[in-house]
Amino acid sequence: MPSITFADVATAPSSRTLKAPKTPVPVVDAQNTSKRDIIIFSDFDGTIFMQDTGHILFDHHGCGAAQRHLLDEEIRTGARSFRAVSEDMWGSLNVPFEDGFNVMKEKLEIDPAFNEFHKFCLANGIPFNVISAGLKPILRKVLDLFLGEKQSSHIDIVANDAQISHDGSEWKPIWRHDSELGHDKAASIQEYKVIASSESEDGSIPLIVFVGDGVSDLPAAREADVLFARRGLRLEEYCIENDISYIPFDTFADIQKELVRLTEEDQQSTMGTGRPVQYNPRANFWRRASSKKAVPTLSSIQQSSGPATGNVFLPVEQTVAPQATLVS
């Protein structure tokens, strides 16, 4: 994969892991920080949650950990595509949808600071969106369980859908794209660009942030002004190997701290007008998509998926949760 250029982001990596904030959620003071809009896009498995939701299901209700590792190796070596291997993994499951979440509650760990971080985003009108190669019904259910349905509803999700039989004997991904990836995050971005092409009403230029952990996040991450990569995982390694600017994080508390610092830096340098200090021209279509005009929300591109066939299709949400109001 070719090297990707990002706007330089100066940061001094911390050697310690920050804990979840114990003080009330801070609201950015408009007098001390920029009024510039911030829009966040994030991976899910390994980023918001420390484990992979699919792996937990496969290990306990499907092919098992040993076989999963062998299948993962086929992806790593290129012997078979991600989509082909994933179909084998999902096809190995034999558990009703609701029952599968018993092990999720026991094994999944959410980033210790994510809940407070998302409250921070809501308090400051910062939209938070998920782009994932996983299955949307699972991701939504997990967020509902760990955050509560009200808070979860403020997060838009673009991911693959799923066809699951009532008795749980058949799990079949409904892929977003007819490709070896199943869900090509870069393609989703392009779809979003096409359907949401209006410009910002007041000419402001928002700051676009992406958060991830793996190389599969790069197609989306390269479109951001600021990239946060979970420390010690493959995305950070790739950034180091290819001289890509990024900010490492241990928990979302690190990200919250950096966002406050970045907005203060931007306010001092630009007064919140014109281009952000951290600016990547590739992110322009995200800015158009995040216009204050009536444009589709991120999750609306889910409608581009083909219709489901067979057994029971877990429904996509019938109403699109509104994004938090942008800071003005």
Catalytic residue (one of 8, 37, 43, 243): 43
Helix (H, G, I), strand (E, B) or coil at 305: coil
- Chain-centroid distance of CA 321 in Å reads 16
**Element housing 155 (H / E):** strand 155-164
Q: Would you call 167 a catalytic residue per the annotation?
A: no
**Element housing 37 (H / E):** none
Helix (H, G, I), strand (E, B) or coil at 40: strand
Q: Would you call 202 a catalytic residue per the annotation?
A: no
DSSP secondary structure code for residue 315 in this structure? P
- Chain-centroid distance of CA 196 in Å reads 19
Six token digits for residue 198:
């209006």
Catalytic residue (one of 8, 29, 37, 45): 45
Q: Is 7 left (phi over 0), alpha (psi -120 to 50) or beta?
A: beta
139: Cα within 13 Å, side-chain hemisphere = 28
Token look-up 């999944």 returns 108
Six token digits for residue 141:
């259910």
- Positions marked catalytic: 43, 45
